[in-house]
Structures are given as structure tokens and as C-alpha cells.
Structure 1
Amino acid sequence: MTATTSVAPAVDPAVRAPRRRLLGGVVVAVVGAVVVAVVVGWLVWPTPPGPVVLHAGTSHYVVTATVDSARIGGTAVEIDLSTRARVPVDHATVEIDAVMPLMGHAAPPAPAESAGGGRYRAAQVPLMMTGPWELHVSIDGPAGADNLMLPLAVTG
């Protein structure tokens, strides 16, 4: 039996240098592509929407509604209620109905509890699907009863 050993052929240094440069260029390109992908992903990643503020008025009242989250599910709605002279209205009954007229959906009325200073809060107004909704606000206060509608776009 004879043992044979193999010896790797010597690689010319002139051949190694272009290979190293090519490998270094590929590594730099991959790292650059990853950095670009991370930056682009960060820029286009959806951020949770903030509160939506809606304004409306009737012959008796001025209403500012703040919807905590215009997304599917239950959301809190705060109503700032004042007279046309901008005096806060306390001792009123406020109800909020979420209606999606295009689909015929309507949630049960959500009563808004008084928080004082003309502020009323409904803790859970259900928004069942994405699309255009209407918040129907019913007010029964010292100046009389009024109804108004606030348009709201609900996202996923």
C-alpha cells in the first residue's frame, strides 16, 4: 500500500487579488441592499393613527368630537359641547350612534357620560368594518334637542 498525499496547487497572487476584490464588492452590495431595505421598510411601515378630531354645529350647539382610534373595533369618543356663544354645556344627555349607510350597519346607541365642563365621553363606540361611517350625535340639553352627523373614515 502506498500513501499518496495531495498538495494543493499554488495559487498565483495575481489571481487571488481580483477574487478578494470581487468578494469584498459583493459583501458591500449585500450590506448596502439590506440597509436600503430597512430604511424603506421603516418609512412605509404603517403607523397607528392618532385621534381624529371632527367639528360640527347646529342652531343651538357647537360640537367637537375626538375619536380615539378610527380603526375596526370599539373606540372611545369624546364630545366637547358648547353653545353658539362658546359656553360649555353641562346637564345634557348625549348619545352617539355609529352608522355605516352603504352597508346598512348601525351600532346600538352609546351613551356619553358627562365629564364636566361641557365634555362627554362614550367609552366604547363599535366600528365593525372599514369604510365610510357616520357618527350620529343626539343632544338633549338646556337649549333644546338637536341631532347632527359627523363623517368618519374607518381604516383596518
Structure 2
Amino acid sequence: MKYRVIAFVALVAAVIAFFVINRSTGGTATATAAGHHYTVTVTAGPTVEVTVGTNQATSVVLTAAMPSMGHALPEAALTRVGPGVYRAAEDLFPMAGIWELTLRLTGEAGDETLTVALPIIN
């Protein structure tokens, strides 16, 4: 019984630490995905920014879903804000949780779809 209590307290402390650290970094989360044509780094917080690391995409379209809650957001075309950097025009996430982001990239290297999962804290 004593070890269960200790394990529970440690788990709660880890969850609290995750949320405190994530809030102190501006509530952003980052993930990287690599496909055959493109490599992307996705930074999500109040908005989403995608940096395309290999080859240049001419367009990036994002679809976000929260499978655990059955939520899905409409497709959002990201705006190019610099060489290889694309950003969503608005705050996309109505609630905190694990969101699955699907990115559809098109360009001279070809078309590709990449998916990342990120914890979003509002």
C-alpha cells in the first residue's frame, strides 16, 4: 500500500511538472517528422508554425484532430512567412490535450503527407 501511494504521488508530481514546464516555455510543443520528400519541424502553441527542412514546399495544409475526444478541425492552409516557414493564421485548438496534426505538403519534390502528435496546453 505504501509503495502505491508513493507511485501515485510521483505520477502526480510528473504531470504537474510537465504542465509547469510547458507553461514556462510559452505553452509550446515541438515535434519533427521526416518523409521521403520533406522533413518538417512543427511548433504548436497558441498557433502552429511549420518549418520545412528538406526541399521546398509550395504549400502546406494542416488538418488537426483529437482522436481521444472525437474532435476534428477543418483543413487550414498555412501562410508562408519566410523561406521554408509556414504559419497558421489563427489559434486552432479549442481545448488542451493530445492533438494529431496531419500536414499535406506539395512542391517540386512531390506531394507528401506527414503526421505528428503534440500535447497542446491552452
Tell me, yes or no, whether TM beats 0.5: yes
Gaps of at least 5 residues in structure 2 are: 1-16
**CA gap 1:143/1:125 in 2 versus in 1, 3 angstroms:** farther
RMSD of aligned C-alpha atoms? 2.0
Q: Quick one: higher RCO (CA 8 Å, sep 6+), 1 or 2?
A: 2
Report the count of equivalent residues. 101
**2:43 aligned to which of 66, 88, 94:** 66
Residues 103-127 of structure 1: per-residue CA shift (max 9 Å, x gap): 2211111111112311111122421
Q: Structure 1, unaligned stretches of length 5 or more?
A: 1-43, 70-74
CA distance in 2, matches of 1:139, 1:106: 19
Question: Which residue matches 1:79?
Answer: 50
Q: Deviations over 1:21-69 (max 9, x none)?
A: xxxxxxxxxxxxxxxxxxxxxxx9x5454222211111100101111x2
Counterparts of 1:93 and 1:61, CA distance in 2: 12
Segments of 4+ moved more than 6 angstroms: none
| Greater C-alpha Rg | 1
Identity of aligned residues (%): 36
Partner of 1:151: 117
TM-score, with structure 2 as normaliser: 0.72
